[in-house]
Amino acid sequence: MSAPTLTPADAPAAAPSAGSNLLRKLAATPEAGVVLACLVAFIGFSIAAPTYYSTDNLQVMGRDLAEFGILAIGESFVILTGGIDLSVGGLAGFAGILAGWFNVNEGLPGPVAIVLTLAVCAAIGLWHGTMVNKLNVPPFVITLVTFTICKGLALSVTSGTPITGMSNIFGDLSLYYVGPVPVPALIFLVVAVATWFALERTYVGRQIYAVGGNAEAARLAGIPVKRRVTSTYVVSSTLAGLVGILIIGRLGVADPSVAASGYELTAIAAAVVGGVSLFGGEGRIVGIAAGAILLELITNGLNAVNVSEYYQTVAQGVVLGVAILADRIRAQYFGGSRR
């Protein structure tokens, strides 16, 4: 069983030269557009604002990227099966509050608070999967319910006041560097590599693609469809929990405002820009990572070149639209098309 995107694109009938053949091959790669867009955005913003490519700013981008990049990867797991997880932003916010609460209010050591928080998040993912599989609740609905509850719980647990005085381990996770690289960026890298391996190099991963491509065919082929679907929600929720923990470490407090951040839409946008089909079954981790990187490059770049806050969202939409359009044109001419 192989996922559609893992199937090599048809080779061109005739290659005039090795160089053009390589170019054509690159252009036929589904992620080529978004990677190219990343390069163009980085070079463009670097020319416009010299501080854009400074080490300090790259470190800021690295920490930002870790937050919604990891969310995007988790979200992609669900989308690959044809579902959607709207809870990730609210859940990330709630997870931060939960970790802070375990640590400060319950007096649990930092590592225990982290493990417990991730366990609760995984259980929420299990709940999502169960609802989708057993009761046929649309993923949109059940995850929206969770989002709303999490947002409310983040406020009610804290009465709106951030939790302070947390263990140093949270700050260590978010604020330290390995060489010049922020630890969260490394965590993002580890998550990306691990999920790439799981999705694209394991039997289970290929089954997830198969479920998203055609659930009925997958079921007939003997794939445990429900279990695979549930596992993707567990991954998504757990990674959302991880992001929540990274955020409170960066802030030094567990702040309930994070639950209302709207990160879920950023995560979905990163996944789609990175080539994940909303119909399921298509998309690769390299594309998802590139999609998240592109969003971060644009967001940070618009600030760097001082685009008015009132126009930033418009500008982001336009840039993303152009990126997606260019990618569709590329796909039409060079293959590697997506649904």
Partner 1 sequence: MSGSIAGQEFPSAPATTGAEGGSLERRSVLRALGLGGGAALAATALAACSSSRTSSSTGSIGDFPKTSAWKFAFINHVTTNSFFAPTQSGMKDAASLLGLPAPTWTGSENGVVSEMVSAFETAISANVAGIAIPLTDSNAFIAPTKAALAAGIPVIAYNANASGNYALAYVGQDLYQSGYQMGLKIATEVTSGDILVGISQPGSLNVQPRLDGLKAALAAKAPGVTVHTVDTGAAQADELSAMESAYQGLKAAKGIYAVDAGSTASIAEMISKYGIKGQVHAGGYDLLADSITGVSSGALDFTIDQSAYLQGFLPVLYMFMYRMTGTLVFPPATDTGLTFVTSENVSPYASSKSWIEGGANKAVVPMPSSIGLPAPSTVQS
Which residues are near partner 1 by CB under 8 A?
49, 51-52, 54, 56-57, 59-60, 63-64, 67, 155, 158-162, 164, 175, 247, 250-253, 255-258, 260-262, 300, 303-304, 306, 308-310
Q: Least Å distance between CB 296 and partner 1?
A: 10
Q: Least Å distance between CB 257 and partner 1?
A: 5
* Residue 243 contacts residue 75 (beta carbons within 8 Å): no
Q: Least Å distance between CB 164 and partner 1?
A: 5
Q: Least Å distance between CB 269 and partner 1?
A: 16
Q: Least Å distance between CB 141 and partner 1?
A: 21
* Residue 301 contacts residue 41 (beta carbons within 8 Å): yes
Nearer to partner 1, 16 or 50 (CB): 50
- From first CA to last CA, the distance across the chain in angstroms is 19
Nearer to partner 1, 33 or 100 (CB): 100
Tell me the torsion sign for CA atoms 273, 276, 282, 283. positive
Task: Give the C-alpha separation, 251 to 199, whole Å.
Answer: 32
Nearer to partner 1, 9 or 186 (CB): 186
Taking only Cα atoms into account, the Rg of the chain, rounded to an integer number of angstroms, comes to 20
Nearer to partner 1, 52 or 77 (CB): 52
Task: Give the C-alpha separation, 102 to 6, whole Å.
Answer: 42
Nearer to partner 1, 6 or 60 (CB): 60
Q: Dig out the tokens for 162 from the structure.
A: 């951030």
Q: Dig out the tokens for 159 from the structure.
A: 């009465």
Q: Least Å distance between CB 308 and partner 1?
A: 7
Nearer to partner 1, 52 or 233 (CB): 52
* Residue 100 contacts residue 248 (beta carbons within 8 Å): yes
Instruction: Give the H or E element holding residue 178.
Output: strand 177-178
Nearer to partner 1, 63 or 330 (CB): 63
SS3 state of residue 183: helix
Instruction: Give the H or E element holding residue 205.
Output: helix 203-213
Nearer to partner 1, 61 or 131 (CB): 61
Q: Least Å distance between CB 294 and partner 1?
A: 17
Task: Give the C-alpha separation, 33 to 291, whole Å.
Answer: 10
Q: Least Å distance between CB 304 and partner 1?
A: 6
Task: Give the C-alpha separation, 167 to 108, whole Å.
Answer: 9
Task: Give the C-alpha separation, 253 to 103, whole Å.
Answer: 12
For 234-252, give one letter per residue: b (16+ CB within 10 A) or e: bbbbbbbbbbbbbbbbbbe
